Amino acid sequence: MKKVIKATVSNIIVALFIFIFTIGGIFLCLGRDIKNNISLIDKITVVEAENKEEKVIEVDKITNYLSSYPSYGEKYATLEIDKIDLNKDVYFGDTYEILKNGVGHNAGSYFPSEGGSIVYLGHNTPDMFRRFSELEIGDIITVKTSYGTFNYKIYDMQVIDETDKDKLPIQREEEILMIYTCYPFNALGHTTNRYVVYSKLVSGEEA
């Protein structure tokens, strides 16, 4: 019996040795590729945070940049236009999913108070921007955020082509809010025109 156990143990040790040698060989030859592939897979793995801490956003007095930014898809403000009884949530991002729920904020533009171009967009449905045709130069648009309330005065309205990105310039010399929607407002089907309302910051009160 002792000999059987001894022989069995020695056979198992040989098997373990072969196994360890294989693992070592795999990591030596393919270790980097394996790590790279795992980090690629990590990039497409989404884990929801269990307890989302509410971010406190403040404006940096020197740079005027925000201390932190909302996550993509997160609601961070409300858009109010009293002239047309509009009061809608503003979300960071502009996917179709976001636009179903409210106003989208183009991720390539600045935020209220940062002193640059802000681009909002939304559908021209009756409960959203359908009444943009009633807006006039001088009307006030209000954006309320957790870090302040900002008022913009309309100075221009234009009809542009959907590909005409030059009409929505991103700059940081002056705080301009540009809101656009599909045009004509009562169009049927797919339209390639956009109606843009341009407004400048006239007052801002930080929270």
Partner 1 sequence: MNKLLKYIFAIILYLSLTIVVLINILNSTILSKEYILNKLEESNYYNNIYTEVENNFENYIYQSGLDPIVLENIVSRDKIKEDTNIIISNIYDGNNKVIDLEVVRNNLSTNIDKSLEDRYLSEENKKAINKFIDIIINEYEDTIMNTDYSSKINTGISSINNKINMINIIMIILVIISILSLILLNIKKKRRKLSIFGIPLLALGLLLITIYLYIILNIDINNIVILNDAISIAVHYILNGIVIKFLINGSIFTILGILIIVIGNMLRYKKVKKMS
Residues that bind partner 1 (CB under 8 A): 3-4, 7-8, 11-12, 14-16, 18-19, 22-23, 38, 41, 44-47, 96-97, 99-100, 123-125, 181-182, 186-191
CB of 94 to partner 1, least distance (A): 12
Pick 46 or 62: Cβ nearer partner 1: 46
Pick 62 or 188: Cβ nearer partner 1: 188
CB of 182 to partner 1, least distance (A): 5
Pick 22 or 146: Cβ nearer partner 1: 22
Residues 46, 141: Cα–Cα separation, whole Å: 37
Pick 134 or 162: Cβ nearer partner 1: 162
Amino acid at 167: K
Pick 3 or 61: Cβ nearer partner 1: 3
**110 exposure class (CB count in 10 Å sphere: 0-12, 13-18, 19+):** buried
CB of 81 to partner 1, least distance (A): 19
Structural contact between residues 186 and 199, judged by C-beta atoms closer than 8 angstroms: no
Structural contact between residues 193 and 180, judged by C-beta atoms closer than 8 angstroms: no
Other C-beta atoms lying within 10 Å of the C-beta of residue 162: 13
Structural tokens at position 143: 């954006």
Buried b / exposed e across 116-150, counting CB within 10 Å, b at 16+?
Answer: bbbbbbbbbeeebbbbbeebeeebebbbbbebbbb
CB of 161 to partner 1, least distance (A): 14
CB of 118 to partner 1, least distance (A): 21
